[in-house]
C-alpha cells in the first residue's frame, strides 16, 4: 500500500480549498476552474504550474476574492485557518470585513510589475496606502519609518521612496511589490508569475529574496507560473493544472523523479537540460482545450499518447499514482488492473520502445532513432479536438555536423548508436 505523502496534517493547514469551480458567464460559459482541491500548509511553498488557458490565474483570483464579473465562483469553498482563532470561510466575507481581511492575511504579488504599480503615485504613497487603510492609528512619522523598513527588507535604499514606478527597473519594481506584500506580515502570499518578465539573473535574485523573507517571517507561498523547471527548484509541493483541473499533485521531488500524469511527463520533457545528457525532446504537440465547450471525458485526450477508450467518457479525479496523485485513468485499478503502460511508468511521452539516450556533450548529437516518429494518433480524433488544424511532431534537431572547424562533431545521418 502506497503511503499518501501528499496529505497534510490538519493543524498545519493555513488555507484549504475544496472543490472550487469558477465559471465565466456568457453566451458560452467557460468553466475555467473545475473542482480544484488542495491544502496549503503553514510556511510551505506550493507551486502551481500550467500553461495558458489552464485556469491558474483564475484560481489565484478566486482564492483572493478578486474575481470580476463575468467570472464567479460556481461552487466549492476556500477556508482560511488563522493561527489564532476560528477558521474563516472566505465566501462569507463581504464589504468592510472583506476589506479588512485583505492584505492582512492573504497578500498578492502580481505579474510583471509592469502595471501593478500606479504610475502617478510615488513608491512612498503606494506603500503608505497600505498602512493608511489598515493601520489608521499610525502617525505620519511612523508610517514613513515602516515604509523605509519595508524597502530595506528587499534591499532597496530609502532614497527610492520618492521615486515613481517608471524610474525603477523591472527587477526593482518587482521587489517593491514584494515589499508591499510584506507590509502587514500576512500568512499567505499568492504570487502570480512574479518573475516572468525578468532576466534570469534578476529572477534568481528575486527568488532568493523571497526565500530569505520566508525564512524570516514564515509565510506560506502559492507560486503560480508556467515555468515548471523553476517550480521544481523552489517548491515544497507542486500542483500541475490542465484544462481547469489539477492533474497532478505531490511533493516536488516526487514529481520530478516519478511523474505520473502524461501531461506532467510531457511538460517535464519540454525543458531542455542545461547540463547533462542531451536527449530527444518533443514537447507536447497540440493546443489546450476550449473550455467553453462541454467536455466529456479527460481534457487531455487530444494530446495524450496513452489515450484509450475510457478516456473519452470518464473525467478522471485525482487518485494515488505512485508517490504522487494524478488525475489519469491509467491509475484506476478498476480500469487498469495492471497499472499504467510501461512507457508511461518509464517517464516517456510516447508509447513506443525507448530511444537511445545520448552521451554527455562532446559525443554524438542525438538522433531520432531510425527516423521513426513517435506515434501521434492522439492528435487525430476530431471530436475531442476543437481545432481541425493539426501540427505533426517534428524530429529533433540535429547538430550541424558539416563544419569540422567548429569542433569534434561527427557528421550526422544514418544509423543509431
Site stretch for other proteins (CB under 8 A), options 9-17, 31-39, 82-90, 388-396? 388-396
**Pick 10 or 388: Cβ nearer other proteins:** 388
380 counts as binding other proteins under rule CB under 8 A: no
357 counts as binding other proteins under rule CB under 8 A: no
**Pick 108 or 320: Cβ nearer other proteins:** 108
User: Minimum Å distance from CB 39 to other proteins?
Assistant: 20
Site stretch for other proteins (CB under 8 A), options 22-30, 118-126, 318-326, 333-341? 118-126
Distance CA 408, CA 417 (A): 17
**Pick 283 or 333: Cβ nearer other proteins:** 283
Residues within window 278-337 making contact with other proteins, judged by CB under 8 A: 278, 281-288
Residues within window 17-56 making contact with other proteins, judged by CB under 8 A: 51-52
With contact defined as beta carbons under 8 Å apart, do 48 and 223 qualify?
Answer: yes
CA atoms within 13 A on the CB side of 215: 7
Among all chains, which residue has been given the C-alpha cell 489552464? Answer: 54
User: Minimum Å distance from CB 369 to other proteins?
Assistant: 15
**Pick 10 or 69: Cβ nearer other proteins:** 69
227 counts as binding other proteins under rule CB under 8 A: yes
C-alpha cell recorded at residue 203:
529572477
User: Minimum Å distance from CB 144 to other proteins?
Assistant: 18
User: Minimum Å distance from CB 4 to other proteins?
Assistant: 21
Alpha helix (H) ranges present in 9-139?
Answer: 56-63, 95-101, 123-134
**Pick 313 or 372: Cβ nearer other proteins:** 372
238-265: burial string, b at 16+ Cβ within 10 Å, e else: bbbbbbbbbbbbbbbebbbebbbbbbbb
CA atoms within 13 A on the CB side of 105: 23
Quick note: the x/- pattern for other proteins over 254-273, rule CB under 8 A, is: --x---------xx--xxxx
Neighbour order of strands in the sheet with 237-242: 106-109, 188-192, 220-225, 45-49, 237-242, 245-251, 324-326, 319-321
CA atoms within 13 A on the CB side of 296: 6
Amino acid at each position: 500500500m502506497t503511503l499518501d505523502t501528499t496529505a497534510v496534517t490538519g493543524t498545519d493547514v493555513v488555507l484549504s480549498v475544496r472543490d472550487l469551480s469558477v465559471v465565466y458567464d456568457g453566451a458560452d460559459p467557460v468553466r475555467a476552474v473545475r473542482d480544484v482541491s488542495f491544502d496549503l500548509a503553514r510556511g510551505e511553498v506550493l507551486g502551481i504550474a500550467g500553461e495558458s488557458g489552464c485556469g491558474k490565474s483564475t484560481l489565484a483570483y478566486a482564492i483572493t476574492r478578486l474575481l470580476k464579473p463575468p467570472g464567479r465562483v460556481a461552487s466549492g469553498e476556500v477556508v482560511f485557518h488563522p493561527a489564532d482563532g476560528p477558521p474563516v470561510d472566505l465566501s462569507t466575507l463581504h464589504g468592510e470585513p472583506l476589506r479588512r481581511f485583505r492584505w492582512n492575511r492573504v497578500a498578492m504579488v502580481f505579474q510583471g510589475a509592469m502595471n501593478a504599480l500606479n504610475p502617478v503615485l510615488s513608491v512612498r504613497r503606494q506603500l503608505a496606502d497600505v498602512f493608511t487603510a489598515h493601520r489608521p492609528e499610525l502617525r505620519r512619522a511612523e508610517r514613513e519609518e515602516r515604509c523605509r523598513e519595508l524597502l530595506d527588507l528587499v534591499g532597496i535604499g530609502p532614497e527610492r521612496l520618492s521615486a515613481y514606478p517608471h524610474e525603477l527597473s523591472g527587477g526593482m519594481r518587482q521587489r517593491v511589490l514584494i515589499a508591499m506584500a510584506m507590509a502587514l506580515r500576512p500568512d499567505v502570499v499568492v504570487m502570480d508569475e512574479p518573475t516572468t518578465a525578468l532576466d534570469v539573473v534578476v529572477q534568481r535574485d528575486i527568488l532568493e529574496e523571497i526565500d530569505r523573507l520566508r525564512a524570516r517571517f514564515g509565510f506560506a507561498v502559492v507560486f503560480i507560473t508556467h515555468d515548471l523547471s523553476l517550480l521544481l527548484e523552489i517548491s515544497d509541493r507542486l500542483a500541475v493544472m490542465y484544462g481547469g483541473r489539477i492533474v497532478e499533485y505531490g511533493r516536488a521531488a516526487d514529481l520530478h523523479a516519478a511523474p505520473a500524469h502524461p501531461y506532467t511527463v510531457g511538460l517535464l520533457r519540454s525543458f531542455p537540460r542545461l547540463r547533462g545528457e542531451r536527449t530527444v525532446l518533443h514537447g507536447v504537440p497540440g493546443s489546450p482545450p476550449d473550455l467553453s465547450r462541454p467536455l466529456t471525458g479527460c481534457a487531455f485526450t487530444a494530446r495524450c499518447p496513452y489515450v484509450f477508450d475510457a478516456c473519452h467518457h470518464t473525467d478522471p479525479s485525482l487518485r494515488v499514482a505512485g508517490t504522487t496523485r494524478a488525475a489519469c485513468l491509467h491509475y484506476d485499478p478498476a480500469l487498469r488492473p495492471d497499472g499504467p503502460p510501461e512507457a508511461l511508468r518509464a517517464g516517456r511521452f510516447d508509447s513506443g520502445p525507448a530511444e537511445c539516450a545520448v552521451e554527455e556533450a562532446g559525443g554524438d548529437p542525438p538522433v531520432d532513432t531510425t527516423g521513426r516518429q513517435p506515434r501521434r494518433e492522439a492528435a487525430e480524433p476530431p471530436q475531442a479536438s476543437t481545432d481541425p488544424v493539426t501540427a505533426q511532431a517534428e524530429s529533433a534537431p540535429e547538430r550541424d555536423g558539416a563544419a569540422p572547424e567548429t569542433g569534434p562533431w561527427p557528421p550526422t545521418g544514418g544509423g543509431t548508436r
